[in-house]
Amino acid sequence: MILSIKNLLPTYFEQQRTTTSEIWGKDIVFNKGELVKIVAPSGSGKTSLMHFLYGMRQQYKGDVLYDTQPLKKFTPEDFARVRTNQVSIVFQDMKLLPESTVLENLEVKRQLAPFHDGDKVLEMARRLGLGDKLSSRGKTCSYGEQQRVAIIRSLLQPFDYLLLDEPFSHLDNNNAQKAMELIIEEARQRNATVILADLEKIDFYPYTSIYYL
């Protein structure tokens, strides 16, 4: 699958935004295997873009396309298929199940479309410092812990594209770098594209492309 955008602009933005943005109003193809950074100051539409690419919202002019099919023409069944097998995401607000344990939050995702076995889940948790948190409920975890859970959860399914909305906003540099190393490893296993939107141009790895939103 190839993800692309064509003349994309939120309906609530003025056309003038296209003159300063490297994303809005442009035609861009995100090719397989790329590591893409989108530098997005507050108010520039970073979360909107991630939601558009995932098909959660359609308040935009132009098109988001999976292969050559506009998302606006997708059925609920189409979205279920691609979100299970082709596109994964880390939301800015994490969206964990608050009453479920960390392990349950991870296993719910893994069992929907297994890419890894249960041992790999435990290994990822240990690598990101969550080994002793697996029995803790999601709502009792710190924001940083929740963010690491959300990152691991996103890596437990097959995907061609991984969308990351400020994935390290609650992490210190050490934990952010460990998380990024894991993300890159998993993306390379799948020859997948990572599209990471963040507020600043702070890089742990050289990116294939950097766009300013």
Q: Given this model, what pLDDT does residue 111 score?
A: 87
According to DSSP, residue 94 is labeled -
Output 113 or 186, whichever has higher pLDDT.
Answer: 186
pTM, rounded to two decimals: 0.95
Identify any residues that bridge with 163 across adjacent strands, giving them in sequence order: 89, 195
As a whole number, mean pLDDT of residues 69-88 equals 96
- Range name among 58-72, 87-101, 105-119, 132-146 with the lowest pLDDT average: 105-119
Q: What is the DSSP string of 82-122?
A: HHHHTEEEE-TT----TTSBHHHHHHHHHHHS-SS-HHHHH
Query: What pLDDT was estimated at residue 204?
Result: 67
Per-residue pLDDT, 62: 98
Three-state secondary-structure class, residue 205: coil
Evaluate if residue 34 carries a pLDDT over 90: yes
Tell me the average pLDDT across 81-94: 95
Delimit the domains of the chain by residue range: 3-212
Structure tokens at 21: 């943005």
pLDDT tens readout for residues 138-151:
999 999 999 999 99
Taking residues 170-177, report their average pLDDT.
93
Mean pLDDT of the region 105-130 = 92
For range 164-168, the mean pLDDT: 95
Beta-bridged to residue 193, according to DSSP, are: 161
| Number of Cβ within a 10 Å radius of residue 100 | 15
Instruction: Tell me: pLDDT of 155 over 70.
Output: yes
Residue with token string 């890159």: 184
Q: State how far the Cα of 123 lies from the Cα of 92, in Å rounded to an integer.
A: 24
The secondary structure of 28-48, three-state, reads EEECCCCEEEEECCCCCCHHH
User: Does domain 3-212 sit in CATH 3.30.160.60?
Assistant: no
End-to-end CA distance of the chain: 24
Q: Is it the case that residue 48 has pLDDT exceeding 90?
A: yes
In this predicted structure, the answer to whether residue 203 has a pLDDT above a threshold of 80 is no
**What is the pLDDT confidence band of residue 14, given thresholds at 50, 70 and 90?**
very high
- For position 199, what pLDDT does the model report? 86
The pair phi, psi for residue 89, each rounded to 5°, is -150, 150
- What pLDDT, on a 0 to 100 scale, did the predictor assign at position 139? 94
Is the per-residue pLDDT at 26 higher than 90?
A: yes
Q: What pLDDT is attached to residue 83? A: 96
- Partnered with residue 22 across adjacent β-strands are none
pLDDT value for 42: 84
